[in-house]
Amino acid sequence: MVPLGGGVAHARVAADQDPALVRTAQGAVHGLPGSDHRTFSGIPYAAPPTGDRRWRAPGPAPTWAGVRDATKPGSPCPQLDGGGPDRPPQPLGDEDCLFLNVTTPASRPAERLPVMVWIHGGGFVAGAGSEYDLSRMATQGKVVTVTLNYRLGALGYLDHPAMSDPYEGNYALADQQAALRWVRRNIAAFGGDPANVTIFGQSAGGFSVCAHLAAPGSRGLFQKAIVESGPCGNAFVTRAAARARATKIAADLGCATRTAACLRAKPVAELLPIGSDQVFTATARIGDMPWIFTAGTPALPMQPLEALRRGLAAPVPLLQGATHDEMRPFVAVQFDAQGRPVTAQQYPEILADLFGDDADAVLDRYPVAGFPTPSLALATVLTDWGAKLGACSQLPADDAAAWRAPVYAFEFAENSGQEIVGLPLGAGHAAELPYLMEGPNPPLALSPAQERLSRDMIAYWTRFAATGDPNLPGLPHWAAYHSGGTVLSLASGPQGVHPVNFVSSHQCAFWRHPQHAS
């Protein structure tokens, strides 16, 4: 057998004799058996988006004879690595990257298990499904998990009219839909129920889930949705803005004429730096990010919040939430880690740039003297405001979705104990992930109380995937969301898991009308 899906071996092994052998519609795959789970990696779910297929919706997945090695992940999609102190970021990955990974409990179930499909984050320019190990979810919650790659950066989100594809600006969405169609066709062979699929994601993955809720092409491919730190109340880029950006990018690359052929001929390394230095700008709105989904297109006709409010989004149970201190890591990376923490003089200047005529009202509500440092003041403003990843932009989506399906809202509030150059991160962006899965960052050493929180969160998430209701005997009750802003706080402290008033704790009434603040 050949690693990375580069080929297949002609072998015949009876599936009932080898739990690591599964026959899919494309051909047989052989994964890795473990003591309590089985993992199948590097399975292609669509044709490679290379050559003339660059900036087109992906084609059908390849087929093969014999048994394909599924013991190693496929290549990540092209991206820049993190660089280092002595070198700039370098390209990694390959355009032949549309692979997914499946993890199941070790024993074959008598009945088909719920399926959870994880869409990774990374600011739409980085990451891979194989960076996440969901075996704890699979074994504790008795579910089948799937992680996947999708195109990133310009390759996933460029919206240039010369491409003439229905998925212009949303090629990553097309990839994810292709993966979900693969799941519908093949997951029963792994013991999963193709009629009980939950999509879930964090950050860029959370926004991806919001896009699927609104996308006509995603309808029927999933039955439940979980959004972590990617609130559906935020707007994606408009078609006009996306095309203006793409036209400028093409011209800058020397492709103002014969644009499609010119761009498809460009080495991928020339495309990766575009917009990469803007992704983690703390003060950017989601729609201002260089790469994100394009609304007002055939693939995504309207913004997720508009679709929810008009009753045109998928009417599926929704679990949505964020972290208590969402924006602290972004402020730390943009300011403190650069050796220039926000100063008392800068703070009102930044607010003026962000809020214009409303800046004085924001400054009155969040005075710099009320916080240990100006950086923490700014991080609190950005977290509460929620025009990127934070708090108050999720409530309009909760309100709209709750009219048509159950909604369960949460806030992860467990202090990570981590800091960046002296700025405490609290329960910052992505702080919940180690409680659900192993990811690209080093694992945390959890206390016994935090281990219990982790077990409870996995139980909530997987029970929701199974039934659409996260509640189980022995867990604190999680009430369905109703207008008013009460959500479930997830923490291991003295109060533990308990309801909180999200509107008051993040001043969301103020953010609805800051110009009317007293």
pTM of the model: 0.95
In sequence order, what are the residues at sequence separation of 6 or more whose Cβ sits closer than 8 angstroms to the Cβ of residue 139?
Answer: 36, 37, 105, 106
d(CA 137, CA 111): 18
Per the CB < 8 A criterion, the answer to whether 121 and 203 are in contact is yes
Catalytic residue list contains 477: no
Mean pLDDT for the chain overall: 94
Query: Within a 10 A sphere around the Cβ of 451, how many other Cβ atoms?
Result: 12
Q: Which of 177-191, 253-267, 384-398, 408-422 has the lowest mean pLDDT?
A: 384-398
Say if residue 401's pLDDT is above 50.
yes
Return the closest-CA partner of residue 308 out of 403, 221, 201.
403
In sequence order, which ranges of 388-442 are alpha helices (DSSP H)?
394-401
Catalytic residue among 429, 454, 489, 492: 429
**The predicted structure's pLDDT at residue 168:** 96
Query: Model confidence over 77-115: pLDDT tens digits?
Result: 999 998 877 888 999 999 999 999 999 999 887 899 999
Catalytic residue among 203, 393, 489, 492: 203
In sequence order, what are the residues at sequence separation of 6 or more whose Cβ sits closer than 8 angstroms to the Cβ of residue 248?
Answer: none
The residues with which 44 forms a beta bridge, in sequence order, are 99
Catalytic residue among 131, 228, 326, 411: 326
**The predicted structure's pLDDT at residue 296:** 97
Catalytic residue list contains 513: no
**The predicted structure's pLDDT at residue 386:** 86
In sequence order, what are the residues at sequence separation of 6 or more whose Cβ sits closer than 8 angstroms to the Cβ of residue 172?
Answer: 124, 150, 151, 152, 156, 157, 208, 293
Band of pLDDT at residue 4, cut at 50, 70 and 90: very low
Catalytic residue list contains 326: yes
